[in-house]
Structure 1
């Protein structure tokens, strides 16, 4: 298993608050994806996170936790992705919750497993936009500026453009990708099959496939070969 995120092209994202059969989970974990990301915008708890992790650990696949609430931090993941929402005026999602978690758990954190993400939320109708108060009305210059800020000012290793349930404006994403020099660009949102997977992969280094797993498993599985073949 390749744990270097700089080499990942495809990631499946599973929500601890949603139901997936053992058979479906096995297909996802053995699909050839580079990693399974665990996370969600609501309903994520310690119990449902640890349950999902224990099921995934039956398979030889990288498993990372994208932390949305400190109460759901579970030991045993390969990496921990920490979103820093760039396009919100609510400081809780930039440094507030992070400071509180580090105050509580800082002495126990293995910092070699922690990866901060410069997170840009682009779907104003999504749950994550409502929860974080993100301003998603960004034009190409706004988005590129956030991407460059994450890359050059804050030196985040990952810039994550999240359309959360809706397929994004690929031209905007492409312009953001063009200003990045060091950070890896993750794209997530609305990838419902191989065609959109290929489109997203043309401008993003890593695509994240989520909701379609629960709606059309075979279409989800087809996205792996689409970007890795």
Structure 2
């Protein structure tokens, strides 16, 4: 993607969705952290279904610890890899209580030291909870960055660094939300929906996919 196309690309996304946010449901920084930890290789819809049951019962690190591992597993067993995620979340809650007074830390180093929290999860928390201009590169952003030519890279970190360099400052805080939503609903993996894409004029992807032809029904 040419540099001149980047500003109108994001201006178009912003005009369509001026205040984007994560589709994960949460009411506190800890709930956000737990939801993102649970969302690895799972859908936001699936995580929300589980946390709607969990959070009314346990929504703090200490409350999760009080549930015990089996108790926590009972709430999240509908989520893929729930056993390992439950173990990581319990370990994270123990560290939060013992080392951080039950409060989610605001630094990347402290976040990435939590079990089950990698760079992507840390970036989501730093961005969504604390308003920092980070790029949490998931499969959607990785695909959009490469397919559009906005931020080509062979690894999520390479795409992240490219985005931080190429996205105009005015759009940095919200950019990762726009790109995730764009990848989830428009620039989809199997077949991008170019025919209804507002940023198609700025994108390097060729050939653009045409709208599907309605099936003809016999008379």
- What's the TM-score once normalised by structure 2's chain length? 0.29
Asked which structure has the greater CA Rg, the reply is 2
Q: Which has the higher strand share?
A: 1
RCO comparison, higher one (Cα < 8 Å, 6+): 2
Between Structure 1 and Structure 2, the one with more helix by share is: 2
